[in-house]
Amino acid sequence: MRIAPADRWERRLYLAAHPFAYPLLRGLARRGPAVRVPGVGVVVNDAALAREVLLDGETFRKDGPGSPGDLWTPVLGPSVLLNMEGEAHRALRRKLTDLFTPAYTERLCARVLAEPLARLAGRLEQGREVDLVDAMRVMAGTVIGHVIGLQARDADGYRHLFEQGERIVAMVSLRTRRLSPSQVARARRVLDPLGDIAAESYTSGDEGTVMGRMRGLGLSEEEARGAAGAFFLTGTETVATLVPRLIALLHDSGELERVAADPSLLDPALEEAMRVVTPTPVMLRSVHVPAAVGGVPVRPGDRVLIATHNCCRAYGPFDLDLVHPPELRRLWFGAGPHFCLGYPLAMAEVRAVARTVLDAAPLTVTHRRAARGVLIPTYRRFVIRRKARS
C-alpha cells in the first residue's frame, strides 16, 4: 500500500506510541462499520454511526462499566463532565456554557502567551533552530497554569507542570479499562496540590481568573476543583501535540507556504490536520439499555469503543482542499452533550502558535523523532528553522 508523503510520519508516530494496538485498530477498519472484538467490545469504524452513538446519551453513557468514568472518577471525583450523564451532567454543562467563549479565550491566550510567542518569533526571525515540541510544552503549561490559578512561573516551571500531566496520561493505553490503586495514588499526588491551588483561586472570586469565573457562574468549589483537574488532564497534551503535527503535515505536503501566504486557509488547515492526526483516537461508551450498533446487538454493560481515528482516516490522506461532510465535522472533539467544552480554548491556543510559526515561513524541518510510551502519538522532538532568503 502506497502511503502519501504527508502521512508517512503520522503512521510512524502512531506505531511508535502503540506498536501493537495501532495495527489492530487499523485492521479493524476493514471489518465494517461496527464489529465485536472479544476482550475489547464493539468497535465503531464509521463516522455517521459514531455520531449516532455519541448523540444517544440515554443508551450509550460515559458513567458505566468500561467507560471514561471507570478511568477518571477515582482520580477526579464524581462531578466532572467527562464521567457524568443525565440531568446532573446537563445542569453542570449549563453552568459552564459561558466559561470558554471564543472572545474570552482569544483574549486569554493573547495575554498569557504574549511573552513565549515573542520568544518563539524572535528565534525564528534570527534563523535559529526551534524545537516546536518543547515550545508547545511550555505554552500549554502556561495556559493551563493560568486556568488553574497558578502564580506566574518561568519556562522551566511550566514545562514541569506539563510533564506532570503527561506522566498521568501515559498510564493509559488504548486497552486500559481502569487505573490500578497505585496509579490512582500517583495521579492524586500530582492533582491534589493543583486542586488546592484551584480552590484558592476559586475562593478569591476574582472574575479575571477562570476559577473566579466558575464561581461567578454558580459552580460549587468541588465542581470547580474537578473541572480544573479535567482541563489539566484532557487539554494540555492534546493541544501541545497538535501544533508540531500540523506544521509537519503542511511541510510534508508542500502546503506550508500556501497557508502562510493566505491567512484564510489556517482554519481549514487546522480542521484537516485534526482529521488526520485525530487528537482523540478512540472514545469509550458503556451500553445502558439493549440496543444495536450498526447491526451488532449490544447489552447493558457492554463496552463500545468508537475508533475515531478509523472514522476520520476513512476520508483519505491529508488534503487541504478536502470538504468535510456533516457526519465528520469535528468528530475528534465529540458530539452532542459531551462535545469538548474546552474546544474554543484549544483552538485559540493552536491558532496563536500556528500564526506565529507560519509568519516565519519559509521553514525547513532540521530534525524530528517520534515519541514512545505516550497515549497521544506525538513527536519527541520536532526542530524547525527559517530558510535563508535568497
Tens digits of per-residue pLDDT, 345-364? Answer: 999 999 999 999 999 999 99
Which residues are within 8 A (CB) of 276 and not within 5 positions of it... i.e. 6 or more apart? 6, 7, 10, 249, 312, 313, 317, 318
User: What are the boundaries of each domain within the chain?
Assistant: 5-386
For β-strands 303-306 and 41-44, DSSP reports them as parallel
- pLDDT for 214 equals 86
pLDDT confidence band for 57 (50 / 70 / 90): confident
Task: Look at 166-180, 225-239, 247-261, 348-362 and tell me which has the smallest mean pLDDT.
Answer: 166-180
Work out the average pLDDT over 57-85.
73
* Average confidence score pLDDT of the chain: 88
DSSP code at position 271: H
pLDDT exceeds 60 at position 1: no
- pLDDT for 290 equals 94
Work out the average pLDDT over 256-275.
96
> Helices 102-112 and 343-358 meet at what angle, rounded to 10?
50
Q: Which long-range contacts (CB under 8 A, 24 or more apart) does 206-213 make?
A: 209/146, 209/149, 210/99, 210/108, 210/146, 210/147, 210/148, 210/149, 211/147, 211/148, 211/149, 213/99
The rounded distance, in Å, linking the Cα atoms of 379 and 17 is: 10
- pLDDT for 62 equals 81
Strand partners of residue 379 = 370
Work out the average pLDDT over 49-59.
93
- The three three-digit cell numbers of residue 372, written as one number: 514512545
- pLDDT for 270 equals 96
Work out the average pLDDT over 143-160.
84
How far from 294 is each of 45, 270, 291, 297, 298, CA to CA, in Å? 10, 30, 10, 8, 10
- pLDDT for 205 equals 76
Per-residue pLDDT of 15-34, as tens digits, reads 999 999 999 999 999 999 99
The rounded distance, in Å, linking the Cα atoms of 137 and 27 is: 32
Work out the average pLDDT over 237-257.
94
Which residues are within 8 A (CB) of 348 and not within 5 positions of it... i.e. 6 or more apart? 102, 105, 106, 108, 109
Q: Contact 22/29 with Cβ under 8 angstroms?
A: no
CATH 1.10.630.10 fits domain 5-386: yes
Residue type, 84: M
Per-residue pLDDT of 111-147, as tens digits, reads 999 999 999 999 999 999 999 999 999 999 999 888 8
pLDDT exceeds 80 at position 77: no
- The percentage of the chain sitting over the pLDDT mark of 90, rounded to a whole number, equals 55
Of 195, 238, 198, 193, nearest to 215 (Cα)? 198
Work out the average pLDDT over 189-209.
84
- pLDDT for 246 equals 97
pLDDT confidence band for 187 (50 / 70 / 90): confident
